Chains A and B, each alone.
Chain A
Amino acid sequence: MKHLLSTADLTRDEALHILDTAQEMAKTQEREVRKLPTLRGKTVVNLFFEDSTRTRISFEVAAKRLSADVINFSAKGSSVSKGESLKDTALTLEAMGSDGIVIRHSASGAAERLATSGWIQGSVVNAGDGTHQHPTQALLDAFTIRRHLGERSDSTGLDGLTVTLVGDILHSRVARSNIHLLTTLGASVVLVAPPTLLPIGVETWPVRVAHTLDEALDAFDIDALMMLRIQLERMSGGGAAFFPSPAEYSRLLGLDAARLARLPSHAIIMHPGPMNRGLEISAEAADSPRSVIVEQVSNGVAVRMAVLYLLLAGEAEL
């Protein structure tokens, strides 16, 4: 594996290998000295065209725990807004010498263009491209699900589990990444969203669809419930808004105490963050014992360590 651009590119074996490696990484993080020498001498560039402090810090911590040199390149304003072009930025980083580039960009496909246009030699990790993919998020979600529910699965993957994603599927790279990976790992995926927030073409996806959270709770045995962040701007724009109001969103799709109580007792609650408390998720749900939201963050570091290790360390021993 040279790059990590999309979960659609991962075979089941590759995905499991990343999760297994992440498990090893997580173990090392329980040691007194958490730093590993694995990527000493390697340079990882965090190339962020879009603000995301959480994801950038997670990658930064992961790279530093592997002893890589980390450069944070925050390119505010992409060529979309007449800044330096993606190509020139890539050529600059290449000239300075980088072994891996972690890229976050507002344009779908930016990571793939960076990896395949011949501008750079090193590996590319997609840390979120537009409304397309965010593969390390899906991997950390799968890792978290496996940790909590793995014994309910009849395999080393997620076979037999039902994972339900709620919210803005249309604009969500987290959803797209998860749908591919969860399906590859054998889970069954349910999407819950109003028709305005589902893409045309969703009928070609390997998913089942419900339009309200109650409908989904009635129809499916949910093992993991993933609440997606709703962007407030989706409600504005007058006639172009995707739903009428925040209150109506909460009424139809929000995870409140009553819906929380209807979940099977083993079910876990997830959220990629940052949360809009009181909108897509209530405080009761977010802070309940079945919420694994904070753990998702720490698992994110382990998964990103695994990805950087597998891409950059070659066949070196852990």
Chain B
Amino acid sequence: MTKPIVITGVSLYGEEAADIVIAKGEIASLSAADAPSGAVIVDGSGLVALPGLVDPHTHLREPGREDAETIETGSRSAAAGGYVAVHAMANTTPVADTAGVVEQVWRRGREVGLVDVFPLGAVTVGLKGERLAELGAMAQSDAHVRMFSDDGMCVSDPVLMRRALEYVKTFDGIIAQHAQDPRLTEGSQMHEGAVSASLGLAGWPAVAEESIIARDILLAEHVGSRIHVLHLSTARSVDIVRWGKSRGVKVTAEATPHHILLTDESARGYDARFKVNPPLRPESDVEAVRAGLVDGTIDVIGTDHAPHPDEDKDGEWAASAFGMIGLETSLGVVQKTLVDTGRLTWRDVARLMSEAPARLCQFEGHGRPLAVGEPANITLVDPKRAWVVDPRGTASRSHNSPFGGIEMPGTVVGTILRGAVTHAHPAFGGLGK
């Protein structure tokens, strides 16, 4: 049985200070006067409490690529980053396109128990974009899948996309699109622009993303379905989503931390740690994505945590894999780019990284208010404890962080899932883990 915990004088959402009394997995009180006997008392002064973070976009690699990540190592990395729930993408081996595979991932997540692991299901069999996977079976499985995505691949066939959008209404599902026109991006290596021209790397044009987003918003409007846009990365993508919302289309969108901090200039030097899909874009796009987060056009922040072993990242750029890890750096990047610059409050961060993703992904018990009677899913941040990212110093099995050497202004010092401490920063041993 987990001991009761009392965190005193902690700033809720970066606003007023309160004490959080945690007992029996719930927030029992917001006054230390109600602390049960035997409770662990922790000084929370100077810390910010947020509802436990929810990552709508994680690659855990299990089953199939346990050399890159396992559900266990990925869960530990997530907890270290302040996450209490993650949405595990379907591009595993075998692909999560059957009830059997999604249940396996879901069960393994429960066994590890560090974060709630909710699997997405693939939209099409084998992510091949040819025919629908058995979406209903995955929805009705123990894993209770509600979001489907071929992430990594685009559902590019417009008829298939239309069918998927319509079909998932049966069980209030939602399709999450990896927007990338495959023909416009054959062999693409990085953002197409001045930097790709100079480096001689095949370009990934912004329009390959934007045209699919525009098409999908029109399709969703036509059939009256919801559509979620993964990792949008360009200024015009933000404009198109904003336009869709203004028309009343049920469109939501995600941005990643790397797309709000890094630019395509990082590709100079051909270090494949900066190779990601969609690619890092120029500063004007980066700024537009930040603005989209600030004005509410973009609904959620997802890490797109994509572990790869060293051998898939230390060769020639063209031979290296797309993707970067990000579970443990996401909050730091968001604080650095948006909070410390005065553009977002911690309450906004709670919305973008916990409340909105939990609602979007239909994770019950997550993204709830920091209030009495709610599940004790809490992320504690020390916004003044700066640290420099060491790609080797991660709980992830892989080390392909693009943020190595970059200083993050704040640190996740504690993560609590239903009253249990799943991560406690060494400098904050008081959490009694």
Contacts from A to B (Cβ < 8 Å): 8, 78-80, 85-87, 105-110, 112-113, 116-117, 129-133, 173, 176, 199-202, 204-205, 239-240
Contact partners of A240 in chain B: CB under 8 A: 183, 186
Check: B311 CB closer than 8 A to any chain A CB.
yes
Check: B205 CB closer than 8 A to any chain A CB.
yes
| CB-based nearest A residue for B193 | A201
Give the interface centre of B186, B192, B194, B315 by most chain A CB atoms within 10 Å: B315
B229-259: contact bitstring with A at CB < 8 Å (1 yes, 0 no)? 0000000000000000000000000000000
CA distance A131 to B192 in the complex (A): 14
CA distance A130 to B198 in the complex (A): 12
Check: B386 CB closer than 8 A to any chain A CB.
no
Contacts from B to A (Cβ < 8 Å): 183, 186, 189, 192-203, 205, 269-270, 311, 314-319
Structural contact, A107 and B319, CB atoms closer than 8 A: yes
Structural contact, A109 and B315, CB atoms closer than 8 A: no
Q: Is the interface of B mostly helix, strand, loop or mixed?
A: loop
Contact partners of B311 in chain A: CB under 8 A: 85
CA distance A176 to B195 in the complex (A): 12
Known: A112-B270, A113-B316. A132 touches B200 (CB 8 A): yes
Q: List 5 A–B pairs whose Cβ atoms lie within 8 Å, in order of A's numbering.
A: A85-B311, A110-B316, A132-B200, A176-B200, A240-B186
Contact partners of B269 in chain A: CB under 8 A: 109, 112, 116
Structural contact, B186 and A109, CB atoms closer than 8 A: no
CA distance A129 to B205 in the complex (A): 22
Known: A200-B192, A200-B193. A129 touches B315 (CB 8 A): no
Structural contact, B315 and A87, CB atoms closer than 8 A: yes
Known: A112-B269, A117-B314, A240-B186. A79 touches B319 (CB 8 A): yes
Structural contact, A201 and B197, CB atoms closer than 8 A: yes
CA distance A133 to B268 in the complex (A): 13
Structural contact, A108 and B314, CB atoms closer than 8 A: no
CA distance A173 to B316 in the complex (A): 17
Please name the 3 residue pairs, one residue from A and one from B, whose CB atoms are nearest each other, closest first.
A109-B270, A132-B200, A201-B197
Give the interface centre of B205, B269, B314 by most chain A CB atoms within 10 Å: B314
Contact partners of A131 in chain B: CB under 8 A: 200-202
Contact partners of A80 in chain B: CB under 8 A: 316, 318-319
Known: A109-B270, A109-B316, A117-B314. A133 touches B200 (CB 8 A): yes
Known: A85-B311, A113-B270. A201 touches B196 (CB 8 A): yes
Minimum CB–CB distance for B56 against chain A, Å: 32
Give the interface centre of B203, B317, B319 by most chain A CB atoms within 10 Å: B319
| CB-based nearest A residue for B206 | A200
Minimum CB–CB distance for B371 against chain A, Å: 51
Structural contact, B200 and A200, CB atoms closer than 8 A: no
Task: Beyond the given A105-B316, A201-B194, A204-B194, please list 18 additional residue pairs across the A-B interface where CB-CB is below 8 A.
Answer: A78-B319, A79-B319, A86-B319, A106-B318, A108-B189, A108-B199, A108-B200, A108-B270, A109-B199, A109-B318, A130-B200, A130-B318, A131-B202, A132-B199, A176-B198, A199-B196, A200-B192, A200-B203
Contact partners of B270 in chain A: CB under 8 A: 108-110, 112-113
CA distance A85 to B201 in the complex (A): 19
Contact partners of B205 in chain A: CB under 8 A: 200
CA distance A116 to B195 in the complex (A): 20
Contact partners of A79 in chain B: CB under 8 A: 315-316, 319
